[in-house]
Chains A and B, each alone.
Chain A
């Protein structure tokens, strides 16, 4: 497969492609990160509410939802509804395929950065379909809210991903990670890094971008989801946050670079730390109204990240 995906001689691979069976390990790692994010979120929620034992919340919720009877609605479009509900987990899994774990990767695509971008756009479709499928007003409102947010955050996110690619002179994720030997991209392109993180929080439908699943619209997109459907949807949101954090490591945080520990350990460590910061930070930011965020995205974030791209491009050109 690798000779198919790497256009012959176009790039020299920075990473080794492992056989497809290792994808199971990648899924296990993604699952563990998802569980970590959910447990940390549970602990933070419990502490905020003054209740004990929040760390076990994901297990309790899983047990509760697995036993819960599936609710349905009149004339629901079950096909689209299920595709939407399960889609978040699938998109998260597709995202991590291009993330190198130290020196190994499952899918060494020469345009890995574009791949990540294409998959994060799939989240638009998936969330809206979840809202549409229930044939219920509030979930549909939630779906529209997410698309409105999407129009605000997606272009800044795209141009944030452009900056590391320009600096590395490649769209291959391994090459982008390898181009940060001297200085992490997060250090000298902070605007792109922050906008990227905002985009991650946004496509995981969480924190300031949670109005799509807000309590003011009876749970929005997930309003009619119950039982295992809800479990899969909620897990998918945490998994997307984890996948976004994992992708930030090769893009902005130097990949597997670091002293003493091997590359794969550094990738995991950086991912866990960034994920913890994201879980913590997204609780501290108030909800962004979709209608108001539109202007913030287009008039503040997009110009800021374009200037960042220009600066990066000038520096990259100056280096030759």
Chain B
């Protein structure tokens, strides 16, 4: 059983790396996006093998959703419509290759050369809970404060970026109903 698990674990790791590499090899925006999605799904399953089931499943959920939306944006914003045609996924090849190789060698050397400590104690019964407490525990208050600030920043950013204001929607006296929207809403506002 444990050998099957080992093979599956390493197989998923290889699949994640190969799917990640495929992002730069394929010649279509859709294929690149979903190759990345496959890579993330493989990583999500790997995380489940580490018994971080919640983190693993959430990774799969978020990444598939994100890639589904990203594919739309990639196709939409890749000017002159090349996203609908075969196109290369790489540019600045030499620089990129040099940076990538240097980073890889650096990180891999780090993994091999660091004197990793031996395990002390044993894993907690619920590793997800342990991870959460380790990450957030003493900083919970900070996190709780940061979240609404981040949401407020996003909302404020969208409001500032939108070229239409409430005066465009509701008229100068703010009394026009329903609002004058280029995109009609579904609830009759």
Contact = CB atoms under 8 A, between A and B. Distances in A.
Interface stretch (A24-32, A117-125, A196-204, A222-230): A117-125
Contacts of B72: 128, 144, 147
Interface string A176-206: 0000000000000000000000000000000
A150 B31 CA distance: 21
A132 B28 CA distance: 11
A154 interface: yes
Contact of B189 (A7, A117, A295): A295
B61 A114 contact: yes
Given A129-B30, A147-B68, A147-B72, A295 B187 contact: yes
A154 B66 CA distance: 13
A309 to B, nearest CB: 17
A117 B61 CA distance: 7
A122 B63 CA distance: 10
Given A77-B28, A79-B31, A147-B72, A154 B57 contact: no
Interface residues of A, number: 40
Nearest to B66: A121
Given A121-B64, A124-B65, A295 B185 contact: yes
A289 B186 contact: yes
A295 B184 CA distance: 9
B30 A118 contact: no
B78 to A, nearest CB: 14
Given A9-B125, A125-B34, A125-B37, A111 B57 contact: yes
Interface stretch (B46-54, B97-105, B132-140, B147-155): B46-54
Interface in A24-78: 77
Contacts of A147: 68-69, 72
Contacts of A8: 125
A124 B68 contact: yes
Given A4-B49, A292-B184, A118 B64 contact: yes
A7 B57 contact: no
A151 B66 CA distance: 11
A110 B5 CA distance: 19
Interface string A277-300: 000000000001101111110011
A80 interface: yes
A10 interface: yes
Interface string B155-188: 0000000000000000000000000000111110
Contacts of B5: 4
Given A111-B54, A125-B34, A171-B54, A300 B187 contact: yes
A109 interface: yes
Contacts of A154: 65
Contacts of A132: 30, 71
Given A80-B34, A292-B185, A299-B187, A124 B64 contact: yes
A152 B2 CA distance: 43
Contact of A291 (B49, B127, B184, B187): B184
Nearest to B188: A295
A115 interface: yes
Nearest to A148: B72
A7 B53 contact: yes
Nearest to B5: A4
A218 interface: no
B60 A77 contact: no
A129 B34 contact: yes
Given A77-B31, A80-B34, A114-B58, A293 B186 contact: yes
Interface string A1-31: 1001101111000000000000000000000
Contacts of B184: 291-292
Contacts of A118: 57-58, 60-61, 64
Given A7-B126, A291-B184, A295-B189, A80 B31 contact: yes
Contacts of A109: 53, 57
A109 to B, nearest CB: 6
Interface in B88-125: 125
Nearest to B58: A114
Contacts of A80: 30-31, 34
A114 B54 contact: yes
A125 B57 contact: no
5 contacts: A7-B128, A10-B129, A77-B28, A288-B186, A291-B183
Given A117-B61, A151-B69, 4 more contacts: A5-B48, A8-B125, A121-B64, A121-B65
Interface of B: 1, 5, 28, 30-31, 34, 37, 48-49, 51, 53-54, 57-58, 60-61, 64-65, 67-69, 71-72, 125-129, 183-187, 189
